[in-house]
Amino acid sequence: MPRILVSEELAESGLAKMRAAGHDVDVRVGLSPEQLREAIKGAHALVVRSATDVDDALLAAGTDLVVVGRAGVGLDNVDIEAATRRGVMVANAPESNIVSAAEHTMAMLLAVARNVPQAHAALVQGRWERSKWEGVELFDKVLGVAGLGRIGKLVAQRAAAFGMRIMAYDPFVSEERAKAMNIELVDLDTLIEKSDFLTIHLPKTKETIGLIDADAMKRAKDSLRIINVARGGIVDEADLADAVKNGVIAGAALDVFSKEPMTDSPLFGIDGIVVTPHLGASTTEAQDRAGEREVDLVGDVVAGAVLGLGGAGAEVR
């Protein structure tokens, strides 16, 4: 019986489907890296979300491993090169949480524009601070979208419904495609300089880590508000805290951090900064879709039924 190790919370419907298919489903949540390397021995598949670091040491310990399934979009927590060397396929669920992530981006956009969390916190503590938390409208503001992939495109569509003017930076998107979406395509410097709100939808790579730093924020309007529901570390958190505290920019809303879980940060407690604990994909619907997708992919790979989906280490879509 194929053994599938699940290292993070997964929708119960997905777990039930794997068990119904005859797999030995071993759920081990909250293990240390050392414990996980021990637990992976004898497993044919590993299913993770974003918190498990699937590095070469873990892959080396999984001598029977055939596939790593990422229940979600990003693969920056999986060492694809190491998986390829070891003949382990990597499969993700790129469409599973894009609506949830786009909706959370809009929630963060509205929250930082209207100071919703700060006003809520003040009121439940007995302070009626109506004038203190005056915000700004989205209407007729420039939304800069850094990355016009699946999620960035959905955010642009939703923001347009609020009457926002959309600009975007994406070196992989043509002028024709951007025009078809009624989006002005610009370079990154122009995007930073002209945006009233800047939302990040880029992958985390060596090139994008620290991309939005103190120098970038100094070029922005002092009314800029930055939203990041993509990957932690793309926005330099120390620089961001300083920029908001010193009035270089107006605010920010972050759902992701350079290290997670993050419980102590210079960002916390600063007026104008909204934070959530990586909730972008945390909806019932997104988790059900991700779980179902990974169940099908992982089950097929383990059973040897995947044909024409790429070689070992390939990202399966």
Q: Respond yes or no on whether the N-terminal peptide bond of residue 266 is cis (omega within 30° of 0).
A: no
Torsion of CA 32, 33, 37, 39, to 10 degrees: 20
Catalytic-labelled residue, pool 278, 289, 293, 294: 278
Helices (H), the chain: 12-20, 33-39, 56-61, 80-85, 98-114, 116-124, 150-161, 175-180, 188-194, 214-218, 237-245, 284-302
* Amino acid (1-letter code) at residue 236: D
Per the residue annotation, which of 231, 289, 293, 294 is the catalytic one?
231
Amino acid at 150: R
Task: Please confirm, yes or no, whether 184 is among the known catalytic residues.
Answer: no
Concerning whether 201 is annotated as a catalytic residue, the answer is no
The active-site residue out of 12, 34, 175, 260 is 260
What is the Cα gyration radius of the chain? 21
- For residue 257, give the nearest of 247, 265, 246, 249 by alpha carbon: 265
231 given a catalytic annotation: yes
- Annotated catalytic sites, by residue? 231, 260, 278
